[in-house]
């Protein structure tokens, strides 16, 4: 009966946390970058609309306490790159909730304080992994759209548009995330930033080598002159070829990458299954200090093997 009550309480807690997390994620609120477009440049700051102020006094106090600190600025930039509509305080709250939930789940499933601590560590890194996954997904989508974006800018410039008007066309015609990022660039320029500063802010939000190449070409053209349309057209061809080659490489290395995933995670899955199917057989290793040494060595070798395989199949273009 005691175990049933624990499971019921854990289920209710899990449901409450999931509902609260979904509410935070889907709540329609402008991102930090959109609310304060000029924060990266001294003297320019956009005030957030009053109706969109946060209602939580604890969150607002925590945001004010963390304002200007290096860790808060880094978290804010990472959230902006992932396009997550969260403040720093909300992200930290989500991390704490993830740690508590993971530790509680580990304690209920494994009945071991040590394994509960390990689960808590996993819960601590889970939000970071999720943010990193969203960043990689968004960056990959942006890079795939960049060639079409440059083509649209080239056609707009050849039709007589200015560079800013060409960016406005990109913001209106392209799909996210490209349209969102170029819309921010246009708004920053309209608020008084120079084109170079706005493009540098774009590079801070989107760490793309192809975008860096385009921005560098635009900055050089503004200083020395020349035909920007022809330069961007050549860059667009280079980017298309790079994307094509990267797609071929991913197709050729897919087997190696999935082999690395299977080899790395299959032992963990088998161990967890063995723990639940034959606990008396598996518990001997956990209760013995030598068993923990074996587990540590095995995990270290799995991590090393995964890193080596990823290094082999990762080819820079």
| Structure confidence at residue 63 (pLDDT) | 57
Residue 260: count of CB within 10 angstroms of its CB = 20
- Model confidence at 35, pLDDT cuts 50, 70, 90, reads very low
Asked if residue 110 and residue 177 are part of one domain, the reply reads: no
**Upper half-sphere CA count for residue 24 (Cβ side, 13 Å):** 19
Please compute the mean of the pLDDT values over residues 137-154 and round it to a whole number. Answer: 88
CA distances from 9 to 4, 16, 36 (A): 9, 11, 41
Q: Over 80: is that where the pLDDT of 184 sits?
A: yes
Q: Of residues 28 and 293, which shows the higher confidence score?
A: 293
Rounded to a whole number of angstroms, the CA Rg of the chain reads: 25
> Which CATH number do you get for residue 156?
1.20.81.30
Asked if residue 176 and residue 69 are part of one domain, the reply reads: no
Asked if residue 70 and residue 155 are part of one domain, the reply reads: no
| Structure confidence at residue 296 (pLDDT) | 83
Asked if residue 130 and residue 6 are part of one domain, the reply reads: yes
Asked if residue 125 and residue 11 are part of one domain, the reply reads: yes
Domain boundary among 212, 245, 278: 245
Phi, psi of 68 (to 5 degrees): 85, -10
Asked if residue 133 and residue 25 are part of one domain, the reply reads: yes
- Model confidence at 60, pLDDT cuts 50, 70, 90, reads low
| DSSP summary character for residue 83 | T
Asked if residue 265 and residue 151 are part of one domain, the reply reads: no
Domain boundary among 245, 264, 295: 245
- Where are the alpha helices (H) located in 67-87, listed in sequence order? 70-82
Q: Residue 166's domain spans which residues?
A: 141-245
Asked if residue 46 and residue 132 are part of one domain, the reply reads: yes
The number of folded domains in the chain is 3
Q: Of residues 258 and 30, which shows the higher confidence score?
A: 258
Asked if residue 130 and residue 175 are part of one domain, the reply reads: no
Asked if residue 190 and residue 93 are part of one domain, the reply reads: no
Model pLDDT for residues 236-292, shown as the tens digit of each residue: 888 888 888 888 888 888 888 888 888 888 888 888 888 778 877 777 777 778 887
Q: Which of 179, 191, 181 is nearest to 41 (CA)?
A: 191
Q: What percent of the chain has pLDDT over 90?
A: 0
CA distances from 203 to 143, 182, 185, 261 (A): 13, 11, 10, 32
Cβ atoms of 86 and 106 closer than 8 Å: no
Asked if residue 211 and residue 160 are part of one domain, the reply reads: yes
């Amino acid at each position: 009966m005691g175990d049933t009550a624990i499971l019921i309480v854990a289920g209710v807690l899990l449901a409450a946390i999931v509902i609260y997390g979904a509410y935070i994620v889907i709540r329609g609120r402008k991102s930090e970058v959109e609310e304060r477009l000029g924060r990266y440049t001294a003297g320019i700051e956009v005030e957030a609309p009053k109706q969109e102020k946060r209602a939580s006094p604890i969150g607002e106090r925590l945001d004010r306490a963390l304002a200007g600190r290096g860790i808060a600025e880094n978290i804010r930039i990472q959230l902006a790159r992932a396009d997550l509509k969260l403040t720093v305080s909300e992200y930290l709250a989500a991390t704490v909730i993830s740690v508590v939930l993971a530790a509680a789940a580990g304690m209920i499933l494994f009945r071991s304080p040590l394994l509960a601590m390990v689960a808590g560590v996993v819960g601590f890194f889970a939000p970071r992994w999720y943010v990193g996954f969203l960043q990689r997904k968004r960056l990959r989508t942006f890079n795939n759209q960049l060639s079409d974006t440059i083509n649209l800018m080239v056609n707009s410039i050849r039709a007589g548009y200015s560079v800013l008007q060409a960016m406005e066309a990109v913001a209106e015609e392209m799909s996210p995330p490209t349209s969102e990022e170029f819309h921010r660039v246009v708004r920053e320029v309209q608020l008084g930033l120079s084109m170079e500063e706005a493009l540098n802010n774009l590079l801070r939000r989107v760490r793309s080598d192809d975008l860096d190449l385009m921005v560098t070409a635009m900055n050089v053209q503004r200083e020395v002159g020349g035909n920007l349309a022809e330069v961007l057209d050549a860059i667009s061809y280079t980017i298309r070829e790079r994307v094509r080659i990267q797609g071929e490489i991913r197709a050729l290395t897919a087997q190696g990458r999935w082999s690395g995933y299977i080899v790395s995670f299959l032992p963990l899955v088998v161990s967890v299954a063995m723990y639940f199917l034959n606990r008396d057989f598996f518990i001997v290793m956990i209760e013995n200090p030598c068993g923990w040494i074996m587990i540590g060595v095995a995990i270290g070798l799995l991590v090393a093997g995964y890193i080596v395989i990823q290094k082999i199949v990762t080819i820079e273009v």
